Chain A
Amino acid sequence: MDEAPGLSDQYRTASPWPVFVALGIPISELGLLFGLFPLAVGGLLLFCGSIAGMLKESGYVESTIRSLVVLSAILFAFGGALAFTEINLVTRGYATIAAAALLLVGGVAFELFVWDNKQAI
């Protein structure tokens, strides 16, 4: 390694997350645009879950649950705005809120039941 450490002087040359982040975006976009509830929920879960996984993997955050909580709060706010304001896109709003809730539940479950015995970065 060179002496001048850059923004990424320590990283792996393989990561499973990017491909799922990239898949999550179009799936959730399709779901939200056409009002397809399952696609919207699944896509948002995939997108936010992968973001959280990637943040943990790259060492930008310490714990998975915190990033999941933040992401879920953003989704709650966005979903709430869609469903309960003048925008009035109820299905899409509820889909986003459902994704937010599932993320939160998933985060808590992960925190409670999964022990991180993997090699730390």
Chain B
Amino acid sequence: MEVNGQLALTVLMGVFLITVAAWLARIEDWRSYTPLAGGGAVGGTKEQYVSEEKPSGLIRWLTTVDHKDIGMLYGVYSLIAFAVGGLMVVAMRIELADPSMTLLSNTFYNSLLTSHGITMLFLFGTPIIAAFSNYFIPLLIGADDMAFPRINAIAFWLLPPGALLIWAGFFPIPDIIPAQTAWTMYTPLSAGVGSGNQMNAGVDLMLLGLHLTGVSATMGAINFIATIFTERNEKVTWANLDIFSWTILTQSGLILFAFPLLGSAILMLLLDRNFGTAFFSVDGGAILWQHLFWFFGHPEVYILVLPPMGIVSLVLPRFAGRRLFGFKFVVYSTLAIGVLSFGVWAHHMFATGIDPRLRASFMAVSLAIAIPSAVKTFNWITTMWNGNIRLTTPMLFCIGFVSNFIIGGVTGVFLASIPIDLILHDTYYVVGHFHYIVMGAIAFAGFAGLYYWFPIYTGRMYQTTLGKWHFWLSMIGTNLTFFVMVLLGYGGMPRRYATYLPQFATMHQLATVGALILLVGQMIFVWNFVQSWLEGPKVEDGDPWDLGEDNLTTAEWTWFERKLQTAVTDGGEEEEAELATDGGETVTDADDE
């Protein structure tokens, strides 16, 4: 049986490798011919023809190294992950409508809880940011592409296997169960110690998947740093670099220091689980894991929130009819947050009994990080003050971001205080606090970006009424669900449990109603997104938001305008398009789908 299994695996692997080799041979052939489009009209070298060639259909998406295509892949991937993570939590919230165990078993609830967290943070949060940055950073800084286009593609293609591994426990594979470690993977539970079932290979698969997403994020970060440093157009200096690029640069720096540490910690945990090492099983091992994990984990919070802040800083002024107030200070505060974010990790560990002097210093830095965050908030508010505000859907999401960020931020300031934390630690207050940030702020900024740039990446316009329904349902749903959680925390409801005492039932039911409102809102979003992409009115104006009127046009819209002008000349395509697309852009980019 054992030998047969090995044999079957060998044959499968062999067949797979031969298929890959055969396919590669064909691809090489496909790439060796010279495309038909006009000879040396542009005066380019032969290489440039090859470089502008793009295959069609599925092969294009599998082989692309174009930053815009990769941005689209990231976007699709992260929205699928958002749907998966969202449906997981809907199941959990429905279970929580009733104090006892009714719909889901407690272990399945734990599995969903673990996967919901990891999916939303690593498979939705980080990739949706990469979607925007891949598509728009090269356009904003006037680069032809990313510095390392192939590494960019590798970084993306590591994610789908990562997701499959993270979700592997849910697939009908014999003897494999989903991880139930929560996203923080605290040892000794995650080391598989004791009589529980966390020695199962499902946890190993989840750890491997997480490791892959970490490798992916690191590769992406190196690429963005190299791109922003070396690929800028001559006209783009450090002085006039846009705010979104600043936040991506800072975020990439954080990733560079944080994610490799997570990767190492995960490998140590895997070694402990499979090869008998004792990193986390000796005295102090549990606290060691917490230090390593949160040294990554807290910067991760800023990895996730800085670029969305960048999107808001970019989009919000466009609809306030003014430039961003205090641009320099927004940049400085971004950098300050980046630095300080590495000095706050132990505020997650106030209740572990670490040295009180250490606790006090971490409390001080945690309170200090509120200052640059507040600087940003005041700058956004001041930008809107007396501005000519247009409440478009992206603007609504930006304002929603600011509003939710204030509540999420202020609840966080209280948590940074040791005595309050000791009361509220591990309650729903914490869950409410960070969901105000991850859902209320990060996801809202993601939606703002998705709506704002919708004309660029689809060539069409979304349905505005549905967009506003989406916003209001999201805003009401978010505030209902998560404010109730803050109150539940004050009441002493511990987090992570599948069942609870009857006295918390009303609050939990309210939170469930809020989650269902959110679900309806996101269903409207999906409908609007897909239908408008397929059938929405085509955008013929290169400035659909009328940014030119206030002199607020940015580079990506100029690029879009140029692209539209070259695409409109259908018929005389070759020459004019060739001339105007000197810069690596082909006219077929978005219109051939």
A interface residues with partner B (beta carbon < 8 Å): 1-4, 6-23, 25-26, 29-30, 33-34, 36-39, 41-42, 45-46, 53-54, 58, 89, 118-119, 121
- Give CA–CA (A36, B212) in the complex, Å: 19
Q: Are B65 and A15 in contact (CB under 8 A)?
A: yes
Residues of B within 8 A of A6 (CB): 143-144, 147, 230-231
- Minimum-distance CB pairs A-B, first 5: A22-B157, A18-B153, A42-B13, A38-B10, A26-B161
Q: Are B64 and A13 in contact (CB under 8 A)?
A: yes
Q: Are A9 and B144 in contact (CB under 8 A)?
A: yes
Given the interface pairs A14-B64, A14-B65, A33-B274, the reply to whether A38 lies near B54 with Cβ below 8 Å is: no
Which A residue's beta carbon lies closest to that of B27? Answer: A16
Of B6, B63, B147, B584, which one neighbours A16 at CB under 8 angstroms?
A: B63
Q: Is B582 an interface residue when CB atoms closer than 8 A count as contact? A: yes
Shortest CB distance B101–A (Å):
33
Q: Is B14 an interface residue when CB atoms closer than 8 A count as contact? A: yes
Which B residue's beta carbon lies closest to that of A45? Answer: B17
Which B residue's beta carbon lies closest to that of A43? Answer: B13
Shortest CB distance A89–B (Å):
7
Q: Are B215 and A14 in contact (CB under 8 A)?
A: no
- Give CA–CA (A38, B147) in the complex, Å: 36
- The binding surface of chain B is classed by DSSP as helix
Q: Is B593 an interface residue when CB atoms closer than 8 A count as contact? A: no
Of A10, A19, A58, which one neighbours B63 at CB under 8 angstroms?
A: A19
Q: Are A121 and B47 in contact (CB under 8 A)?
A: yes
Given the interface pairs A1-B582, A6-B143, A16-B24, the reply to whether A33 lies near B9 with Cβ below 8 Å is: no
128-168 of chain B: CB within 8 A of chain A: 142-151, 153-154, 156-158, 161-162, 165
Of A3, A12, A26, A121, which one neighbours B162 at CB under 8 angstroms?
A: A26
Q: Are B154 and A21 in contact (CB under 8 A)?
A: yes
- Give CA–CA (A34, B270) in the complex, Å: 11
Shortest CB distance A54–B (Å):
6
Interchain residue pairs with CB less than 8 A apart (17) = A2-B234, A11-B51, A11-B145, A11-B149, A12-B51, A12-B53, A15-B65, A15-B153, A16-B24, A16-B27, A16-B63, A22-B156, A23-B161, A25-B158, A30-B208, A38-B10, A119-B32
Of B10, B32, B52, B275, which one neighbours A13 at CB under 8 angstroms?
A: B52
12 additional A-B pairs beyond A2-B144, A2-B233, A89-B275, beta carbons within 8 Å, are A1-B144, A10-B48, A12-B65, A15-B150, A16-B24, A16-B63, A18-B65, A22-B161, A25-B158, A26-B162, A33-B270, A46-B20
Q: Is B87 an interface residue when CB atoms closer than 8 A count as contact? A: no
Q: Are B234 and A1 in contact (CB under 8 A)?
A: no
Q: Are B158 and A22 in contact (CB under 8 A)?
A: yes
Q: Are B66 and A13 in contact (CB under 8 A)?
A: yes
- Give CA–CA (A118, B146) in the complex, Å: 26
Residues of B within 8 A of A58 (CB): 150
Shortest CB distance B262–A (Å):
16
Q: Are B53 and A14 in contact (CB under 8 A)?
A: yes
Residues of B within 8 A of A3 (CB): 234
B interface residues with partner A (beta carbon < 8 Å): 6, 9-10, 12-14, 16-17, 20, 23-24, 27-28, 31-32, 34, 44, 46-48, 50-55, 60, 62-66, 69, 142-151, 153-154, 156-158, 161-162, 165, 201, 204, 208-209, 211-212, 215, 226, 230-231, 233-234, 270, 274-275, 582-584
Cross-chain pair count, CB within 8 angstroms: 156
Residues of A within 8 A of B44 (CB): 1
Shortest CB distance B147–A (Å):
4
Shortest CB distance B199–A (Å):
13
Given the interface pairs A25-B215, A118-B28, the reply to whether A38 lies near B145 with Cβ below 8 Å is: no
Given the interface pairs A26-B161, A42-B13, the reply to whether A8 lies near B149 with Cβ below 8 Å is: yes
Which B residue's beta carbon lies closest to that of A114? Answer: B25
Given the interface pairs A16-B63, A38-B13, the reply to whether A25 lies near B212 with Cβ below 8 Å is: yes
Of A1, A14, A15, A19, which one neighbours B48 at CB under 8 angstroms?
A: A1
Q: Are B148 and A8 in contact (CB under 8 A)?
A: yes
Q: Are A20 and B20 in contact (CB under 8 A)?
A: yes
Residues of B within 8 A of A15 (CB): 63, 65, 149-150, 153
Residues of A within 8 A of B148 (CB): 7-8
Residues of A within 8 A of B208 (CB): 26, 29-30, 33
Residues of A within 8 A of B147 (CB): 6-8
Residues of A within 8 A of B31 (CB): 12, 14, 118
Of A11, A22, A42, which one neighbours B154 at CB under 8 angstroms?
A: A22
Shortest CB distance A121–B (Å):
7
Residues of B within 8 A of A10 (CB): 47-48, 51
Q: Are B201 and A17 in contact (CB under 8 A)?
A: no
- Give CA–CA (A26, B161) in the complex, Å: 7
- Give CA–CA (A27, B102) in the complex, Å: 39
- Give CA–CA (A30, B48) in the complex, Å: 40
Which A residue's beta carbon lies closest to that of B154? Answer: A18
- Give CA–CA (A54, B150) in the complex, Å: 8
- Give CA–CA (A36, B10) in the complex, Å: 10
- Give CA–CA (A98, B231) in the complex, Å: 41
Q: Are B9 and A38 in contact (CB under 8 A)?
A: yes
Residues of A within 8 A of B583 (CB): 1-2
Q: Are B28 and A19 in contact (CB under 8 A)?
A: no
Which A residue's beta carbon lies closest to that of B34? Answer: A119
Shortest CB distance A98–B (Å):
11
Looking at A10, A11, A37, the one whose CB has the most chain B CB atoms below 10 A away is: A11
- Give CA–CA (A7, B53) in the complex, Å: 20
Q: Are A18 and B204 in contact (CB under 8 A)?
A: no
Shortest CB distance B49–A (Å):
10
- Give CA–CA (A2, B145) in the complex, Å: 12
Shortest CB distance A114–B (Å):
10
Which A residue's beta carbon lies closest to that of B234? Answer: A4
- Give CA–CA (A10, B231) in the complex, Å: 13
Q: Are B24 and A14 in contact (CB under 8 A)?
A: no
Which A residue's beta carbon lies closest to that of B55? Answer: A14
Shortest CB distance B4–A (Å):
13
Residues of B within 8 A of A7 (CB): 147-148, 226, 230-231
Q: Are B24 and A53 in contact (CB under 8 A)?
A: yes
Residues of B within 8 A of A121 (CB): 47, 50
Which A residue's beta carbon lies closest to that of B10? Answer: A38
Given the interface pairs A2-B142, A89-B275, the reply to whether A17 lies near B150 with Cβ below 8 Å is: yes
- Give CA–CA (A89, B23) in the complex, Å: 34
- Give CA–CA (A16, B348) in the complex, Å: 44
- Give CA–CA (A80, B52) in the complex, Å: 44
